Amino acid sequence: MERHCVLVATFLLMLHIVHAQDQIGFISVDCGLAPRESPYNEAKTGLTYTSDDGLVNVGKPGRIAKEFEPLADKPTLTLRYFPEGVRNCYNLNVTSDTNYLIKATFVYGNYDGLNVGPNFDLYFGPNLWTTVSSNDTIKEIIHVTKTNSLQVCLIKTGISIPFINVLELRPMKKNMYVTQGESLNYLFRVYISNSSTRIRFPDDVYDRKWYPYFDNSWTQVTTTLDVNTSLTYELPQSVMAKAATPIKANDTLNITWTVEPPTTKFYSYMHFAELQTLRANDAREFNVTMNGIYTYGPYSPKPLKTETIYDKIPEQCDGGACLLQVVKTLKSTLPPLLNAIEAFTVIDFPQMETNGDDVDAIKNVQDTYGISRISWQGDPCVPKLFLWDGLNCNNSDNSTSPIITSLDLSSSGLTGSITQAIQNLTNLQELDLSDNNLTGEIPDFLGDIKSLLVINLSGNNLSGSVPPSLLQKKGMKLNVEGNPHLLCTADSCVKKGEDGHKKKSVIVPVVASIASIAVLIGALVLFFILRKKKSPKVEGPPPSYMQASDGRSPRSSEPAIVTKNRRFTYSQVAIMTNNFQRILGKGGFGMVYHGFVNGTEQVAVKILSHSSSQGYKEFKAEVELLLRVHHKNLVGLVGYCDEGENMALIYEYMANGDLKEHMSGTRNRFTLNWGTRLKIVVESAQGLEYLHNGCKPPMVHRDVKTTNILLNEHFQAKLADFGLSRSFPIEGETHVSTVVAGTPGYLDPEYYKTNWLTEKSDVYSFGIVLLELITNRPVIDKSREKPHIAEWVGVMLTKGDINSIMDPNLNEDYDSGSVWKAVELAMSCLNPSSARRPTMSQVVIELNECIASENSRGGASRDMDSKSSIEVSLTFDTELSPTAR
């Protein structure tokens, strides 16, 4: 292993001097601090801390319990916690290509009164940094920034709610802690002293925290003289003015530590300065070895001058146990000496961030339209698990930055004009801005985005004409229907002249008049022909064209549905279903028929039966919900019919029916394997998670069950049947008092007793679905000792035999760890107390871990970076000194 000795010239470059009181470039964030209390100077260090207001748009402020306050520094008294969403991020402005020391402090302090310690992940941009699982800890890395922005994200991985107390960034010189391109993860940093004093800013100009460390086989060496520390690493005078040597002159000076896993690579930095005045015949010379292998030397420390010996390439220790020894040479008359040592493990951040121009552009779009989707935090494209809702990205090549290829902001309540920020999404292939309230003209720049081939601007209030650049673009699919003030379409656009004014040609009105007359004659001929024919026989009730003059349906006092472009007449419904020829199924709403829209797009048409228990209110609720929500795991609404007594819902066609059919074997004879079942429940959970967190206001499905989970031709799962769904109309509401509705067996018992509906009611129902997929047994079976599936599984679990619970059709072909995790998750969803159930965000994460465990059985790699922990035999707690081994 190669080492390198840093011997810096004695002259000082003023550009690199950092005085003790300087905080140039420092970012010191007291998370959760009220803006009115910001900024303040911390008494012990003199550091200036500011509120996190403006750095994060979510989360809630908190404070550690009073009994812990006497033990805490002021910045750790407050915190911000994140009960909503999966990924919550801080956005910091930094200087690109700068070496930063980055610290995040977590002091639980029983702030929530639950006395349950943390367990969540910390991400650095799109990459996993570490897992926070200690009540009091500091996480620290050294990292060279690549852009002018930096994101620190807290990720829910279970029931624990993420929180953070302090976030600090300290810029350092580029020639400090140089690696081969990796970042450094703090392992330990000690100065050799028998005191109990911890050292940081202002003694350390970079605010590194130094912990005292000493062994009873050593003797302390000190000096009152100044040590020259103003070199590369600018170490504190109080650190370098102390050192240790072995009590026995011929002994080695040993430092040991352990890393996990054993293959972990690390860098070490040893700092030396001779503190004693040597006599004429004295010599201090030593070598450095790691696990008995020579690494550097012979070396003699310089009198009262700091020098650092560090690794040029990272090291590894056999078995993860490291023994660093400083060994005197034969010519040395004095024992070896050491002043201070630091060690860092290598941490790779392999996932490249989304293309910087794309990030700037999408954030500009977000700011322009005030988009506040909970998923729009952190990196837009990566990791895939946290992809922003409404985006698709191309990140297939790990050597290049991901790019945004699709933007769907349909039904997002957008107002104003089409923002110019979109033109900076230069790799965009699809753009959907439909069903908003956008005004103004269609901008020319859309035609200049070379990759853009699909544009949907329908259902807005745009005006002017369609730019020729869009009309003439080959392969372009452009939808501008439903813009009443748009003067021209693809067939009738008037080009602009060189002076920028519309030139009107005499030919245009003449041709238009002739065409109009021809169309009128044709329509009259067709009318008389059709009158001679019989009206087509239509199954079901005859169409009615009556409409109340006040805009209300004559059958109900419910307000009529207000929307655009998705309404069909009953005769159109009859035509698309070929007079209701092919029945797909039957539900509480009525019959479901197969049909075609535009002759090619397959659809499922649900006709409201007059005898249905579900009436116009449920019909209206489902239409209005599906018109405003869009997610890959929710069945899409193609359109609807609301004509007199005739009502129909037209959905996208799901070729593989519902999940219940596949589990019961009524649809086909093959058995869904465990991996496919997990994929289906993950996708279903993602749809629910979107309803709970992605919708404003949040939605509760209220009827989650296997018959309402539909599968398309690729076995992608989508939630359906939103007739019972409810929203929380007032922001901040935790529940809605409502009449109990749902399916027996799936009903949340707490909701049943209290009539209080919450998102956790869906979580309970989802837990039942999960048990169905695990056991393939009916939800209610009166022949069992415990009729309800939750009670039955609970009894079987007490026996500890997972195979007695699992579907025997799987023939034990599954990863038992994945199954156990799924069973535990299902039972946590069924907790009688809704407060103790996980959120759907947490459920999604847990199920993805089940999939990763199942995939690893077949050698597949996990989507998310594997986590590794590092155990140091020098135990460094946040506020405790290390203990020597």
User: What does 105-156 look like in DSSP terms, one character per residue?
Assistant: EEE-TTTTSS-----EEEEETTEEEEEE-SSEEEEEEEEE-SSSEEEEEEEE
Least confident window among 512-516, 606-610, 712-716, 870-874: 870-874
Residue 664 has pLDDT above 90, yes or no: no
Residue 625 is encoded by which pair of tokens? 């919900």
Nearest residue to 428 (alpha-carbon basis) of 390, 396, 458: 390
pLDDT category of residue 694 using cuts at 50, 70 and 90: confident
According to the model, what pLDDT value does residue 488 have?
66
Please give the residue that has the higher pLDDT: either 156 or 872. 156
Total Cβ atoms within 10 A of residue 615: 16
According to the model, what pLDDT value does residue 472 have?
84
Residue 110 is encoded by which pair of tokens? 């029983």
Residue 372: φ, ψ to 5°: -125, 35
Q: DSSP letters of 191-237?
A: EE-SS---B-TTTSTT---BEEE--TTEEEEE-SSPPB--STT---H
Tell me what the mean pLDDT of segment 859-867 comes to.
Answer: 32
Identical fold, 188-347 and 660-857: no
Measured CA to CA, the distance from residue 705 to residue 659 in angstroms comes to 9
Q: How many residues does the chain have?
A: 885
Computed on alpha carbons and rounded to an integer, the radius of gyration of the chain in Å comes to 34
Instruction: List all residues 6 or more positions away from 736 whose beta carbon is below 8 Å from its beta carbon.
Output: 700, 726, 728, 756, 757, 758
Residue 482 has pLDDT above 70, yes or no: yes
The domain covering 660-857 belongs, at the CATH homologous superfamily level, to Transferase(Phosphotransferase) domain 1 (1.10.510.10)
According to the model, what pLDDT value does residue 13 have?
32
Please give the residue that has the higher pLDDT: either 243 or 729. 243
Q: DSSP letters of 645-675?
A: TEEEEEEE--TT-BHHHHHHTSS-SSPPPHH
Q: Where are the domains of the chain?
A: 24-172, 188-347, 356-486, 570-652, 660-857
According to the model, what pLDDT value does residue 584 have?
84
pLDDT in tens, 811-838: 888 888 899 899 999 999 999 888 889 9
According to the model, what pLDDT value does residue 857 have?
74
Q: DSSP letters of 730-798?
A: STT---EE----S-TTTS-HHHHHH-EE-HHHHHHHHHHHHHHHHH---SB-TTSSS-BHHHHHHHHHT
Tell me what the mean pLDDT of segment 312-323 comes to.
Answer: 92
According to the model, what pLDDT value does residue 877 have?
35
Residue 619 has pLDDT above 80, yes or no: no
Considering the segment(s) 356-486 as one domain, its CATH architecture is: Alpha-Beta Horseshoe (3.80)
pLDDT in tens, 321-358: 999 999 999 999 999 999 999 999 999 999 999 999 99
- CATH number for the domain running over 188-347: 2.60.120
Quote the mean pLDDT of the chain: 82
Residue 46 has pLDDT above 90, yes or no: yes
Residue 245: φ, ψ to 5°: -130, 155
SS3 256: strand
Tell me what the mean pLDDT of segment 14-24 comes to.
Answer: 53
What pairing do the DSSP bridges indicate for beta strands 211-213 and 183-192? parallel
Measured CA to CA, the distance from residue 476 to residue 461 in angstroms comes to 22
Residue 200 is encoded by which pair of tokens? 């940081």
Does 202 sit behind a cis peptide bond, omega within 30 degrees of 0 on the bond before it? yes
pLDDT category of residue 723 using cuts at 50, 70 and 90: low
Residue 877, CA distances (Å) to 398, 450, 532, 573, 873 in order = 37, 55, 91, 69, 12
586 in a known ligand binding site: no
Annotated catalytic residue 30: no
Longest dimension (CA), the chain: 126
Least confident window among 175-179, 262-266, 720-724: 720-724
According to the model, what pLDDT value does residue 240 have?
98
pLDDT in tens, 406-450: 999 999 999 999 999 999 999 999 999 999 999 999 999 999 999
Residue 750 has pLDDT above 70, yes or no: yes
Measured CA to CA, the distance from residue 495 to residue 503 in angstroms comes to 7
Tell me what the mean pLDDT of segment 856-871 comes to.
Answer: 38
pLDDT category of residue 731 using cuts at 50, 70 and 90: very low
Return the residue matching tokens 């994101």. Answer: 151
pLDDT in tens, 354-384: 999 999 999 999 999 999 888 999 999 999 8
**Catalytic: which of 121, 136, 703, 762?**
703
Residue 419: φ, ψ to 5°: -65, 140
**E runs forming strands in 418-530:** 430-432, 437-438, 454-456, 463-464, 477-479, 485-486
Residue 657, CA distances (Å) to 652, 706, 709, 710, 753 in order = 12, 11, 9, 6, 33
Q: Report the helix count and the strand count for the chain, using DSSP H and E.
A: 13, 45
Is domain 24-172 annotated with CATH 3.30.450.20? no
pLDDT in tens, 269-292: 999 999 999 999 999 999 999 998
Helix axis angle for 840-857 and 816-829, nearest 10°, is: 170
According to the model, what pLDDT value does residue 520 have?
52
Whether residue 488 contacts residue 494, with contact meaning beta carbons closer than 8 Å, is answered with yes
| Percent of all residues in the chain with a pLDDT value above 70, rounded to a whole number | 81
Least confident window among 170-184, 216-230, 424-438, 531-545: 531-545
Residue 385 has pLDDT above 60, yes or no: yes
Fold of 570-652: Phosphorylase Kinase; domain 1 (3.30.200)
Return the residue matching tokens 């003699």. Answer: 300
- The reported pTM is 0.58
SS3 326: strand
pLDDT in tens, 235-248: 999 999 999 999 99
**E runs forming strands in 443-520:** 454-456, 463-464, 477-479, 485-486
pLDDT category of residue 655 using cuts at 50, 70 and 90: confident
Instruction: List all residues 6 or more positions away from 397 whose beta carbon is below 8 Å from its beta carbon.
Output: none
Residue 537 is encoded by which pair of tokens? 């026989």
According to the model, what pLDDT value does residue 505 have?
33
Beta bridge partners of 601: 597
Least confident window among 89-103, 189-203, 494-508, 627-641: 494-508
Residue 470 is encoded by which pair of tokens? 């869009």
Total Cβ atoms within 10 A of residue 795: 11
Whether residue 164 contacts residue 104, with contact meaning beta carbons closer than 8 Å, is answered with yes
Q: Nearest-5° angle of CA 92, CA 125, CA 395? A: 135
pLDDT category of residue 21 using cuts at 50, 70 and 90: low
| Percent of all residues in the chain with a pLDDT value above 90, rounded to a whole number | 55
What pairing do the DSSP bridges indicate for beta strands 463-464 and 437-438? unpaired
End-to-end CA distance of the chain: 25
Measured CA to CA, the distance from residue 883 to residue 135 in angstroms comes to 19
SS3 806: coil
